[in-house]
Structure 1
Amino acid sequence: MEFKVNSKELEKHLSKIIPAIPTRTPMKILENFLIEIKDGLMTIYATDLEISLKTFLNVVSDDNLKIVVPARMLYDIVKSLHDTTLHFQLQPNKKINLLTDKGKYSLSYLEPEDYPEIQTINGESASEINEITINGEELRSSIERTAFAISKEEIRPAMTGTLFDFSEDGLRFVTTDGHRLVNLLIKNIKSPIKKQYVVPERAVSVLTKILDERDVKVFFANAYVSFRLSDIELIARLISHKYPDYESVIPLENEFMLKVNSKELNESVKRMMLFTTSTTRKVKFNLNKEVIEISAEDIDLGASGEEKVQCEYNGEPMEIGFNSQYMNDILNHLSDYEDIIFKLHSPTKAVIIEPAEKKENVDLMMLLMPVRLNV
Structure 2
Amino acid sequence: MKFIVSSTALSSHLQAVSRVINSKNSLPILDCFLFRLEDGTLSVTVSDSETTMDTTIEVNDSDVNGSFAIPAKTMLDALKELPEQPLSFQVNAETYEIEIQYMNGKYSLMGQNAEEYPRSAALGENSVVRVQMDAQVLLAGINRAIFATADDELRPVMNGVYFDITIDDITMVASDGHKLVRCKTLAAKGTERAAFILPKKPANMLKNLLPKESGSVTIEFDERNAIFTLENYRMVCRLIEGRYPNYNSVIPQNNPYRVTVDRAQLMGALRRVSIFSSQSSSLIKLRVQENQIVVSAQDIDFSTSAEETLICQYSGEAMSIGFKSTFLIDILNNISATEVVVELADPSRAGVIVPVEQAQNEDLLMLLMPMMLND
TM-score normalized by the length of structure 1:
0.95
Q: Secondary structure at the match of 1:312?
A: coil
Residue 198 of structure 1 pairs with residue 200 of structure 2: no
| Alpha-carbon offset, residue 33 of structure 1 | 0.8
Aligned to 1:52: 52
List aligned pairs for 1:213-232, cutoff 5 A.
213-215=213-215, 216-232=217-233
Q: Secondary structure at the match of 1:30?
A: helix
Q: Secondary structure at the match of 2:187?
A: coil
Q: Distance in 2 between matches of 1:64 and 1:247?
A: 53
Q: Distance in 2 between matches of 1:323 and 1:365?
A: 18
Aligned to 1:128: 127
Aligned to 1:342: 342
Letter in 2 for 1:319: S
Q: Distance in 2 between matches of 1:93 and 1:198?
A: 43
Letter in 2 for 1:302: S
Residue 288 of structure 1 pairs with residue 289 of structure 2: yes
Aligned to 1:299: 300
Q: Distance in 1 between matches of 2:281 and 2:152?
A: 19
Q: Distance in 1 between matches of 2:228 and 2:32?
A: 22
Does the CA contact (< 8 Å) of 1:135 and 1:213 recur in 2? no
Aligned to 2:116: 114
Does the CA contact (< 8 Å) of 2:100 and 2:108 recur in 1? yes
TM-score normalized by the length of structure 2:
0.95
Does the CA contact (< 8 Å) of 2:134 and 2:188 recur in 1? no
Residue 270 of structure 1 pairs with residue 265 of structure 2: no
> Paired residues, what number?
371
Q: Distance in 2 between matches of 1:260 and 1:203?
A: 35
Aligned to 1:172: 171
| Alpha-carbon offset, residue 93 of structure 1 | 3.7
Letter in 1 for 2:17: I
Does the CA contact (< 8 Å) of 2:137 and 2:187 recur in 1? no
Letter in 2 for 1:303: T
Does the CA contact (< 8 Å) of 2:43 and 2:55 recur in 1? yes
Residue 234 of structure 1 pairs with residue 235 of structure 2: yes
Aligned to 2:360: 360
Aligned to 1:100: 102
Q: Distance in 1 between matches of 2:291 and 2:138?
A: 38
| Alpha-carbon offset, residue 319 of structure 1 | 1.2
| Alpha-carbon offset, residue 343 of structure 1 | 1.3
Aligned to 2:182: 183
List aligned pairs for 1:55-94, cutoff 5 A.
55-59=55-59, 60-91=61-92, 92-94=94-96
Q: Distance in 1 between matches of 2:254 and 2:184?
A: 22
Q: Deviations over 1:145-186 (max 9, x none)?
A: 111100111211111000010124400010000001100100
Percent identity of paired positions between Structure 1 and Structure 2: 32
Q: Secondary structure at the match of 2:273?
A: helix
Q: Distance in 2 between matches of 1:186 and 1:31?
A: 38
| Alpha-carbon offset, residue 25 of structure 1 | 2.4
Does the CA contact (< 8 Å) of 2:131 and 2:219 recur in 1? yes
Residue 22 of structure 1 pairs with residue 22 of structure 2: yes
Q: Distance in 1 between matches of 2:359 and 2:138?
A: 15
Does the CA contact (< 8 Å) of 1:286 and 1:317 recur in 2? yes
Aligned to 1:160: 159
Does the CA contact (< 8 Å) of 2:167 and 2:192 recur in 1? no
| Alpha-carbon offset, residue 355 of structure 1 | 1.0
Q: Distance in 1 between matches of 2:31 and 2:340?
A: 46
Residue 6 of structure 1 pairs with residue 6 of structure 2: yes
Deviates most, 197-206 or 25-34: 25-34
| Alpha-carbon offset, residue 354 of structure 1 | 0.8
Q: Deviations over 1:277-322 (max 9, x none)?
A: 2211000011101111110011222211000011122331111100
Q: Secondary structure at the match of 2:190?
A: coil
Q: Distance in 1 between matches of 2:245 and 2:366?
A: 16
Does the CA contact (< 8 Å) of 2:137 and 2:185 recur in 1? no
Unaligned runs of 5+ in 1: none
Structure 1 consecutive aligned stretches of length 4 or more whose deviation exceeds 4 Å: none
Q: Distance in 2 between matches of 1:61 and 1:13?
A: 19
